Amino acid sequence: MTVVGRVVALWRYPVKSMAAEGLAHVEASWHGFAGDRRWAFIRDGQVRSGFPWLTIREQPELARYRPRLAEPDRPGASPTLVRTPAGGELDVADPALAAELGPGVRVIKQDRGVFDTMPLSLLTTQTLAALGQLAGADLAAGRFRPNLLVEATSGPGFPEDAWVGRVLRVGGLRMRVDMRDQRCVMVTIDPVTLARNPAILRAIARERDARLGVYGSTVEPGQIAVGDPVELEA
C-alpha cells in the first residue's frame, strides 16, 4: 500500500442539510459513519417526489441548526438533539422543531441513512485550495459537506480524482472510491454567513465538469480517527 495522505477532519451530519458535527473519531459501517444523515425533514406536498427533502437549497437557515448525538458512544440508540438558531435545544422528533421549519414539514428516520448518492464523501485540502484559486474565493470545507477531509501527500491540484476505482485504507476502514461528486447550487451558500456566491458553482462547472471531491462506499467497516494515514491499496 502507498500512503497518499492523512485525515485532518471528520464530520457527520445527524440531520440531512443541517450543520455538521465534528468528530475526533468515528465508526464507519456499511451505511457510512455511525449516526450520519439518519434523520431528514420532508417538505409539505413532496412525499411522492423524487427529492422530497427540505435542504439548504430551499431554506439556507437550516445550516444554523446544529444537531448532535446526545450519547455519541451509542449512535444507534442515542437521541438526536438539535440546537436552534434561537439557542433552544429540541429532540429532532419533537413536533415543535418541524413546525418551526415550516407548515406541513415532517421528520423521518432511516437507519440506512438519507444519502443523495453514496454513504461516504471525501475531499482533499489541495482541492479546496485549487478551487479557491479558480473561483477567486477563500473556501472552507464545510461548504461542500464532506465526511472526510484529507491532506494529500501529492502537490496542488485535485488528487482524489486519481483514486476513483481504487480502495483506500483509513484506520480500520477500507473504502472504495466509486465516483466523482457532482455538485449543485448548495455549494454556493456559505454555511456560516448564508451568503451566496454563484462563482463557485460556475468554476466547478467550467473547470471540473460540475464535479468536485469523491463519493465512496464501505468495503470493510472499521473505526477511523483524525490523524490516521490514508493508504491506497495496490
CATH code: domain 2-12+117-232 is 2.40.33.20
* Residue 49 pLDDT greater than 80, yes or no: no
**Cα(42)–Cα(157) distance, integer angstroms:** 37
With 90 as the cut, is the pLDDT of residue 51 above it? no
Domain layout of the chain by residue ranges:
2-12+117-232, 21-25+33-109
- pLDDT score of 76: 82
Q: Which residues contact 179 (CB under 8 A, 6 or more apart)?
A: 117, 118, 164, 214, 215
Q: At 97, is the pLDDT very low, low, confident or very high (cuts 50, 70, 90)?
A: very high
Amino acid at 134: L
- Residue 60 CB neighbours (<10 A): 19
Mean model confidence pLDDT for the chain: 95
Place of cell 455538485: 183
Q: How confident is the model at residue 61 (pLDDT cuts 50, 70, 90)?
A: very high
194, pLDDT greater than 80: yes
Question: Is the per-residue pLDDT at 156 higher than 90?
Answer: no
C-alpha cell read off for 99: 413546525
Q: How would residue 127 be classed by pLDDT, with cut points 50, 70 and 90?
A: very high
CA nearest to 149, candidates 22, 14, 57: 22
Q: Which of 16, 34, 17 is nearest to 25 (CA)?
A: 34
| Maximum C-alpha span of the chain | 53
